[in-house]
């Protein structure tokens, strides 16, 4: 781009493809945030040495040094080197420098200081949850359980958790000749190779054996949200809110502990008193296990949601039922089909998931014994969610 084109952009002012800014010292980093936003969007032009009202006031620094520092910043300030062209012009009012930023599509969106930015109008903003999901889809990072998580590695896997799990399966990983841990984890798909050959943790590896599964931008929302309301809809007062983070088994255990923290209630049969939980714990646990095991992990930014109302408990999981299963078939215990086979197998081996295909019949049996109700299973393929409702009291009673 030559000076006359840059001058025209200055005269037109800022828009979704143009950023104007003053530049007085190298401590000013707004241009780097703008570069990140442009690269993650459709590209754009950053012009330095211009006020917001389009007046050229120049950059009062050595022009060659400015160009060198800008070039260095483009290589190291963001999460990956950025594709851009630099230019400069000596106007009567001072030096003007510009950066032509190209749109980039790598393995994941670029980040500046650990955060993703996109260009929205004349602003450089963090994307909303839905925008972030679409951004990762555009960049090709659509998660399935075997995909690697950018930025992760061997150190993000907890060896003791992996070894305990293998012992539970009856596999002696200590016998000679012992495999190197890295090789063993790779063979069992806990680790995988990135596009450049680097070993990284897979989504399966992080969520089943990771030290901090939610520590990475693509996985930061992959946990279970917990909310109890003082009434029967979301507009009522929130009595208690919580978060079940960690590995999948930890999320299940923490969700169950949270439910227990709400206390028991009394029920009388004749002269006999029984202290009961809000719903049978095995039924609740099965719902949460199914939610974390079968959710669609390609829907980034969404969480499993557990909601407790006066009359019901609702567990919502991102994604439709896998492989075109129908709710009626699932409730009847039809042939099991897993979207995340490896995750489901780990939860089964840990004793958190019963014989495959028996989960919903077990929930139904427990609920009928509890209060004579059946679980309700709904899905919305367009909005992409599955919802299970356990009735605390029979509907209409």
Residues 232, 195 share a domain: no
CATH of the domain at 110: 3.30.950.30
* 243, 196: one domain: no
Backbone angles phi, psi at 292, to 5 degrees: -75, -25
Q: Are residue 209 and residue 237 in the same domain, yes or no?
A: no
Token pair listed for 142 = 């659509």
Tokens representing residue 183 in the block = 């090789």
In terms of domains, do 15 and 64 share one? yes
Q: Is 3 exposed, middle or buried (0-12, 13-18, 19+ CB in 10 A)?
A: middle
Is the residue at 371 inside a domain?
A: yes
- Tell me, yes or no, whether 136 lies in a domain: no
Q: Is residue 10 located within the same domain as residue 66?
A: yes
Provide the 3-class DSSP secondary structure of residue 119.
Answer: strand
Q: How does pLDDT run across 113-155, given as a tens digit for each residue?
A: 989 999 999 999 998 876 776 677 667 656 688 889 988 999 9
Q: What pLDDT is stored for residue 298 in this prediction?
A: 80
How many whole angstroms separate alpha carbon 99 and alpha carbon 319? 41
Q: What is the pLDDT of residue 270?
A: 54
User: Do 314 and 259 belong to one domain?
Assistant: yes
> Strand (E) positions, the chain?
18-21, 44-48, 84-91, 94-101, 111-112, 115-116, 118-120, 123-125, 191-193, 199-201, 224-229, 238-244, 265-269, 272-276, 304-308, 312-318, 376-380, 385-391
Residues in the chain with pLDDT < 70?
106-107, 130, 133-134, 137-138, 140-143, 176, 265-276, 322-324, 333-337, 355-357, 397
Contact 349, 171 (CB under 8 A): no
Tokens encoding 16: 């979704």
Do 366 and 302 contact (CB within 8 A), yes or no? no
Say what the pLDDT of residue 175 is: 73
Q: Are residues 89 and 148 located together in one domain of the fold?
A: no
pLDDT attached to residue 250: 98
Q: Are residues 236 and 378 in the same domain?
A: yes
Q: Round to whole Å and give the CA distance between 63 and 57.
A: 14
Hey, what are 5's tokens? 């084109």
Position 396 in a domain: no
Token digits of residue 20 = 């104007």
235 and 361: one domain?
yes
State residue 355's pLDDT score: 63
Residue where the block lists tokens 């969520």:
207
pLDDT in tens, 289-307: 999 999 988 877 789 999 9
Q: Which two tokens stand for residue 167?
A: 């012992």
Residues ≥6 apart with Cβ < 8 Å to 141: 107, 108, 147, 150, 218
Which of 196, 215, 234 is the endpoint of a domain?
215
Q: Please give the residue range of the domain that contains residue 364.
A: 224-391
Residues 264 and 298 occupy one common structural domain:
yes
Domains contained in the chain, number? 3
Residue 320 corresponds to which tokens in the numbers above? 């439709």
Alpha-carbon span 160 to 396, nearest angstrom:
50
pLDDT of residue 88: 96
323 three-state secondary structure: helix
Say which DSSP state 217 is in.
Answer: G
Residue pointed to by tokens 């999948």: 248
CB contact set of 77 (below 8 Å; sequence gap of 6+): 29, 32, 35, 112
**Token pair of 31 as six digits:** 């241009």
Determine the Cα angle at 75 with ends 14 and 196, to 5°. 120
Q: What is the pLDDT of residue 224?
A: 97
pLDDT attached to residue 335: 60
Q: Return the pLDDT at 33.
A: 94
Question: Quick one: 281 and 368 in the same domain?
Answer: yes
269: domain CATH number is 3.30.565.60
**What's the Rg (C-alpha) of the chain?**
27
Q: Please check whether residues 233 and 178 belong to one and the same domain.
A: no
Decide which of 163, 185, 215 is a domain's last residue.
Answer: 215
């Amino acid at each position: 781009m030559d000076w006359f084109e840059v001058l025209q952009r200055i005269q037109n002012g800022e828009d979704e493809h143009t950023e104007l800014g003053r530049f007085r010292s190298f401590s000013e980093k707004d241009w780097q945030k703008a570069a990140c936003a442009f690269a993650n969007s459709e590209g754009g032009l950053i012009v330095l040495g211009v006020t917001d009202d389009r007046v050229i006031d120049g950059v009062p620094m050595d022009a060659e040094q400015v160009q060198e520092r800008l070039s260095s910043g483009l290589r190291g300030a963001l999460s990956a080197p950025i594709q851009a062209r630099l230019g400069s012009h000596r106007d009567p009012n001072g030096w003007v420098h510009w950066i032509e930023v190209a749109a980039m599509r790598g393995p994941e969106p670029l980040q500046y200081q650990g955060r993703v930015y996109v260009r929205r109008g004349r602003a450089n903003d963090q994307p909303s949850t839905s925008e972030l999901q679409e951004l990762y889809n555009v960049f090709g990072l659509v998660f399935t359980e075997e995909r690697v998580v950018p930025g992760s590695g061997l150190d993000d896997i907890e060896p003791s958790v992996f070894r305990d799990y293998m012992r539970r399966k009856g596999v002696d990983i200590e016998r000679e000749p012992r495999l190197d841990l890295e090789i063993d984890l790779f063979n069992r798909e806990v680790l995988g190779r990135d596009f450049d050959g680097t070993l990284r943790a897979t989504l399966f590896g992080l969520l089943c054996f990771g030290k901090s599964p939610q520590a990475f931008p693509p996985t930061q929302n992959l946990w279970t949200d917990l909310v109890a309301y003082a009434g029967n809809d979301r507009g009522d007062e929130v009595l208690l809110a919580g978060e079940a983070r960690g590995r999948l088994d930890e999320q299940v255990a923490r969700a169950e502990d949270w439910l227990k923290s709400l206390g028991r209630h009394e029920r009388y049969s004749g002269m006999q008193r029984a202290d009961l939980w809000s719903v049978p714990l095995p039924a609740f646990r099965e719902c949460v296990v199914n939610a974390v095991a079968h959710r669609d992990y390609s829907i980034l930014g969404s969480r499993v949601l557990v909601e407790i109302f006066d009359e019901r408990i609702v567990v919502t999981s991102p994604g439709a039922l896998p492989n075109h299963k129908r709710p009626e078939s699932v409730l009847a215990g039809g042939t099991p089909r897993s979207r995340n086979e490896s995750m489901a197998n780990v939860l089964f081996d840990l004793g958190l998931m019963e014989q495959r295909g028996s989960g919903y019949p077990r929930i139904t049996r427990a609920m009928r014994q509890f209060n004579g109700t059946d679980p309700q299973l709904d899905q919305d393929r367009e909005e992409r969610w599955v919802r299970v409702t356990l009735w605390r009291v029979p509907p209409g009673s």
